[in-house]
């Protein structure tokens, strides 16, 4: 897969060189660049490093393009290659440039950044005292990398806070476990995907098989893609293919609008006989959106949560002669219905807000609206059932939390359902859909 892409890009670059040579305007601009470089080399007050100047020129050129197109210096390129294996050194956060700010898409679960309290949506304004303004994604990532155990200081602006927060985090070995399974009992399964790395598809399939071995069936499945920043396209395709026996999974269109690459579902090995709920939020990006879009457009799953991030562009990485690399946006993703994900995201079928359970309890118990039944000596209702202070949408969640509070030890599924409102709502819908199928 990689060789043809690199070959095509090489042809494209060759074409640009030829066009540049035959165009008088571009030839003049190249002459001006060469002249400026020559003047700086001869007359600048100090000796200059020509290699640094040329790398700076490349970075400046690429900064005029989208934020996902970057020059990767040799060391950065080497570390970039290791990240997709699921084990690397650093903090464990996915970043992007949003409205001119270096912004956290998502901290990867169980990594140093996650444990330190870095949250999706945080704006990183300084790294070790150095302003992030004007830095490319690759440069910012390089500043956050370092020797295991060494500290890095991030100054972060968080929505709702008056002052920026300073986080001192020790770098560590980031080993990502991308597939996390929870048995919800009665044949229902919950699988959280934290990212798409090598073996995510294989591990996901293994979780399904183990669940079937235990219950002899899958009554229903929740796929949780919230805060999943994406990763490898082929893993998103592989997981989509587990549940689709026909139809388009995703398509890409590059510069030539007439050339469209379409990936279809295979006809064998699909789990097509149980309902699926996919959970997304505003920090579900890239490969997460491909998976959600594929299952949604093919009517294979109901998507719940909040509108996703909207990162619908395709990057290809070209290794350059000196060990450096060029990461460049070469196409856009489209869902099976031909909808571009870019800057639009996936719109859920059912919007479910993320509610803090502690805040919800306080709002309902301590700040509830007074009703007739709260007045002393009120007339009793003819069918008095004692219920009614909490809002209808919140009552099942609060009742479950109250029930579990009396238990000394909660099971994994009980803890999940009593602390995550969106998961509980997804589970309720899943059971309703499953009941209607019977």
Checking if the pLDDT of 154 tops 50, the result is yes
Per annotation, catalytic residue among 106, 219, 286, 324: 286
* Res 357: pLDDT: 74
In this prediction, residue 18 carries a pLDDT of: 40
376 is catalytic: no
d(CA 350, CA 401): 23
pLDDT digits (tens, 9 = 90+) for 189-199: 999 999 899 89
Q: Where are the domains of the chain?
A: 34-64, 87-175, 179-351, 357-373+387-437
| Residue 79 scores a pLDDT above 50 | yes
| pLDDT for residue 7 | 33
pLDDT at 407: 74
pLDDT in tens, 248-260: 999 999 999 999 9
pTM, two decimal places? 0.78
Say which residues have a Cβ less than 8 Å from residue 119's Cβ, sequence separation at least 6: 104, 107, 158
pLDDT for 83 equals: 62
Percent of all residues in the chain with a pLDDT value above 90, rounded to a whole number: 56
Average pLDDT over residues 28-46: 94
How far is residue 108's CA from residue 258's CA, in Å, rounded to a whole number?
Answer: 38
pLDDT surpassing 80 at residue 29:
yes
- Examine the pLDDT at 311 and tell me if it is beyond 70: yes
User: Does residue 226 sit in helix, strand or coil?
Assistant: coil
Q: What is the pLDDT of residue 2?
A: 40
Which range among 64-68, 125-129, 206-210 shows the weakest confidence by mean pLDDT?
Answer: 64-68
Catalytic residue status for 390:
no
pLDDT category at 151 given cuts 50, 70, 90 is: very high
In angstroms, the Cα distances linking 79 to 17, 89, 147, 326 are 30, 9, 12, 14
For 179-351, CATH number out of 1.10.645.10, 3.90.70.10, 3.40.190.10, 3.90.226.10 equals 3.90.226.10
Indicate whether 422 pLDDT > 90: yes
Decide whether 87-175 matches 179-351 in CATH topology: no
The single residue of 311, 313, 324, 390 carrying the catalytic annotation is 311
Predicted pLDDT of residue 19: 41
- Predicted confidence at residue 75, as pLDDT, reads 80
Lowest-confidence segment of 87-96, 299-308, 363-372 by average pLDDT: 363-372
Indicate the range of 166-180, 255-269, 392-406, 411-425 predicted with least confidence. 392-406
Confidence (pLDDT) at 389: 43
Q: Identify the band that residue 395 occupies on the pLDDT scale cut at 50, 70 and 90.
A: low
pLDDT above 80 for 366: no
Distance CA 308, CA 282 (A): 4
Quick one: three-class SS letters along 88-100?
EEECCEEEEEECC
Q: Which 3 state secondary structure label does DSSP give 128?
A: coil
Average pLDDT over residues 242-247: 95
For residue 396, pLDDT beyond 80 = no
Can you tell me the mean pLDDT for 387-402? 60
Q: Give the CATH number of domain 87-175; options: 3.40.47.10, 1.10.10.410, 2.30.42.10, 3.30.465.10.
A: 2.30.42.10
CA-based torsion, 265, 268, 269, 274: positive or negative:
positive
Position 386 scores a pLDDT of: 45
**Residue 136: active-site member:** no
| Residues forming beta bridges with residue 313, ordered by sequence position | 332
pLDDT score of 384 more than 60: no
Catalytic residue among 297, 313, 327, 418: 297
Mean pLDDT comparison of 92-106, 122-136, 294-308, highest-scoring range: 294-308
For the segment 48-61, the average pLDDT, to the nearest whole number, is 93
Residue whose C-alpha is closest to residue 189's, from 349, 432, 426, 435:
426
């Amino acid at each position: 897969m990689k060789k043809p892409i690199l070959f095509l890009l090489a042809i494209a670059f060759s074409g640009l060189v030829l066009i540049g040579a035959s165009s008088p305007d571009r030839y003049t601009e190249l002459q001006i660049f060469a002249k400026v470089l020559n003047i700086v080399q001869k007359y600048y007050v100090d000796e200059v490093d020509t290699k640094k100047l040329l790398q700076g020129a490349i970075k400046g050129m690429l900064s005029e393009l989208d934020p996902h197109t970057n020059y990767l210096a040799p060391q950065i390129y080497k570390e970039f290659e290791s990240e997709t294996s699921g084990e690397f050194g650093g903090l464990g956060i996915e970043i992007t440039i949003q409205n001119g700010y270096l912004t956290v898409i998502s901290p990867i679960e169980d990594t140093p950044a996650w444990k330190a309290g870095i949250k999706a949506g945080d704006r990183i304004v300084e790294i070790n005292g150095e302003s992030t303004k004007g830095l490319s994604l690759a440069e910012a990532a390089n500043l956050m990398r370092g020797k295991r155990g060494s500290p890095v200081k991030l100054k972060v602006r968080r929505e709702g806070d008056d002052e920026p927060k300073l986080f001192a985090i020790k770098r560590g070995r980031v080993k990502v476990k991308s597939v996390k399974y929870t048995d919800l009992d009665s044949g229902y399964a919950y699988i959280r995907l934290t990212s798409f790395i090598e073996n995510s598809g294989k591990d996901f399939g293994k979780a399904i098989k183990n669940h079937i071995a235990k219950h002899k069936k899958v009554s229903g499945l929740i796929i949780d893609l919230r805060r999943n920043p994406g990763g490898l396209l082929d893993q998103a395709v592989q997981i989509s293919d587990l549940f689709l026996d026909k139809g388009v999974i995703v398509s890409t269109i590059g510069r030539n609008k007439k050339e469209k690459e379409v990936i279809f579902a295979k006809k064998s090995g699909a789990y097509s006989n149980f309902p699926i709920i996919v959970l997304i939020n505003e920090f579900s990006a890239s490969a997460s959106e491909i998976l959600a879009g594929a299952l949604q457009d093919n009517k294979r799953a109901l998507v719940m949560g909040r509108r996703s991030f909207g990162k619908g562009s395709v990057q290809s990485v070209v290794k350059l002669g000196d060990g450096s690399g060029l990461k460049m946006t070469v196409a856009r993703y489209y869902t099976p219905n031909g909808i571009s994900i870019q800057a639009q995201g996936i719109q859920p079928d059912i919007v479910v807000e993320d509610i803090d359970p502690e805040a919800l309890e306080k709002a309902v118990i301590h700040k509830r609206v007074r009703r007739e039944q709260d007045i002393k000596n009120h007339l009793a209702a003819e069918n008095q059932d004692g219920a009614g202070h909490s809002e209808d949408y919140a009552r099942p969640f609060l009742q479950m939390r109250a029930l579990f509070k009396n238990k000394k030890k909660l099971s994994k599924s009980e803890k999940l359902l009593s602390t995550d409102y969106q998961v509980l709502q997804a589970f309720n819908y899943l059971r309703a859909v499953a009941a209607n199928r019977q």
